[in-house]
């Protein structure tokens, strides 16, 4: 089970595993590592690799978003595969357009050489380092429609399936399959993760008349009075945080509806906001914001600005992707019956001037933000990706 050492009081057990985790980017502290080593010393794993894995993950990983990275480092240390092994983008594109596989006889299939799992892994990593072009119909490179052990859409009795579907169901291992890939910061978010990120927005302050004992001040005043007790009071702490969530709905936002619903659920369930308000809009805010996704019941935007104080934290959610005239032209709203004498961009700028802390969460990947309306809105509001990492960045900025 890996290079276990530390016999007779020598080098600490699995110390190079600790350094590998740190090198891979996992924030493992010495306190967590000592807890892990203490658990090993007490025999909690009983020479069982599965129990060792569970113990290591429980003691060394503080955040679910690091599960995937931990799995890669663990596999590298105990199995020998390269950590972070990813397919080249070009290779993924080749595999997405396979050629028709050849039809081989049962005799030809039976003559193909079979490799052990360790040998397949070694050969697969070697091919990825060496391959520079698309390959179809062969017997060596990663490709489609051939007899190579690597790829898909072909015929080989045992190999590593890369992309595509299994077909013959005879692959030894699906390449790069990791159980906790969904916990990465750039992938799907769940309500709990969103709630934990939003919790960091909490802001406490002291308001009202003095009503609770201030222990530190009481001790200080008593000491200054040569031991005569003088009790000091202070106002109680109250949550002062007010949050406004503005969500784009319909049209190009339909593919992201489930993700935005999760964010809304997490924010609505939060108990660490003094006030929470949520409104909808379509593409851009104009004269009104709406209480329902059907945009049937709403309030005037000017009333919203009068009602909510400037220190209210405002979180925008939308892809910011629309026709440029919807932002820059009078009467440019996409709804034909909507008459807007002021441009959408003017309304956004007005809201940016009123609220002191704003952030825009965009469900579209950053690499696609070159669209002109995304760029224009990005100049008005700080824009972040709607991922766990992007949400944490937005929360830090809003604080």
Q: In the prediction, which pLDDT does 205 show?
A: 46
Q: What percent of the chain has pLDDT over 70?
A: 62
> How confident is the model at residue 261, as a pLDDT?
86
Per residue in 272-300, pLDDT tens?
678 889 999 999 999 999 998 888 888 99
Q: Which residues lie closer than 8 Å to 104 by C-beta, 6 or more apart?
A: 147, 155
pLDDT (tens digit per residue) in 75-88: 777 666 544 444 44
Contacts of 233 (CB under 8 A, 6+ apart): 210, 211, 212, 213, 214
Cα separation, 163 vs 151, in Å, equals 7
pLDDT number for residue 76 = 77
Summarised one tens digit per residue, pLDDT across range 195-222 is 777 777 765 444 556 667 778 888 888 8
Stretch (H or E) spanning 121: helix 117-130
Q: Report, in angstroms and rounded to the nearest whole number, the Rg of the chain calculated over CA atoms.
A: 29
More confident residue, 294 or 103: 294
Looking at mean pLDDT, say which of 25-29, 161-165, 180-184, 378-382 comes out highest.
Answer: 378-382
Residue 199 confidence (pLDDT) = 76
């Amino acid at each position: 089970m890996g290079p276990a050492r530390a016999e007779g009081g020598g080098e600490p057990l699995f110390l190079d595993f600790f350094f590998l985790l740190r090198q891979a980017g996992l924030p493992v502290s010495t306190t967590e590592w000592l807890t892990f080593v203490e658990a090993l010393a007490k025999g909690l794993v009983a020479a069982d690799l599965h129990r060792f894995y569970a113990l290591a993950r429980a003691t060394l990983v503080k955040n679910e978003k690091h599960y995937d990275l931990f799995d890669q480092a663990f596999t590298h240390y105990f199995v020998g595969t390269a950590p972070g092994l990813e397919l080249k983008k070009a290779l993924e594109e080749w595999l997405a357009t396979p050629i028709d596989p050849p039809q081989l006889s049962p005799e030809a299939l039976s003559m193909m050489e079979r490799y052990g799992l360790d040998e397949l892994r070694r050969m697969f990593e070697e091919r990825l380092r060496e391959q520079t072009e698309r390959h179809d119909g062969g017997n060596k490179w990663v490709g489609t429609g051939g007899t190579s052990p690597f790829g898909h859409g072909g015929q080989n009795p045992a190999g590593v399936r890369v992309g595509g579907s299994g077909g013959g169901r005879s692959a030894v291992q699906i390449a790069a399959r990791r159980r906790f890939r969904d916990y990465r910061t750039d992938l799907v978010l769940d309500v709990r993760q969103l709630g934990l990120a939003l919790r960091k927005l909490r802001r406490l302050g002291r308001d009202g008349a003095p009503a609770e004992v201030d222990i530190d001040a009481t001790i200080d005043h008593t000491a200054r009075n040569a031991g005569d007790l003088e009790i000091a009071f202070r106002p109680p702490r109250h949550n002062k945080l007010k949050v406004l969530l503005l969500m784009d709905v319909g049209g190009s936002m339909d593919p992201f509806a489930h993700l935005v619903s999760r964010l809304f659920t997490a924010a609505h369930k939060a108990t660490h906001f003094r006030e929470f308000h949520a409104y909808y809009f379509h593409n851009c805010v104009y004269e009104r914001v709406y209480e329902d996704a059907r945009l049937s019941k709403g309030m005037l935007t000017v009333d919203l600005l009068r009602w909510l104080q400037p220190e209210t934290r405002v979180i925008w959610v939308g892809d910011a992707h629309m026709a440029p005239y919807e932002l820059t032209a009078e009467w440019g709203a996409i709804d034909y019956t909507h008459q807007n004498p002021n441009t959408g961009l003017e309304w956004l700028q007005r809201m940016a001037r009123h609220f002191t802390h704003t952030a825009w969460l965009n469900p579209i990947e950053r690499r696609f933000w070159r669209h002109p309306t995304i760029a224009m809105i990005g100049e008005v509001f700080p824009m972040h990706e709607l991922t766990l990492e992007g949400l944490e960045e937005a929360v830090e900025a809003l604080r």
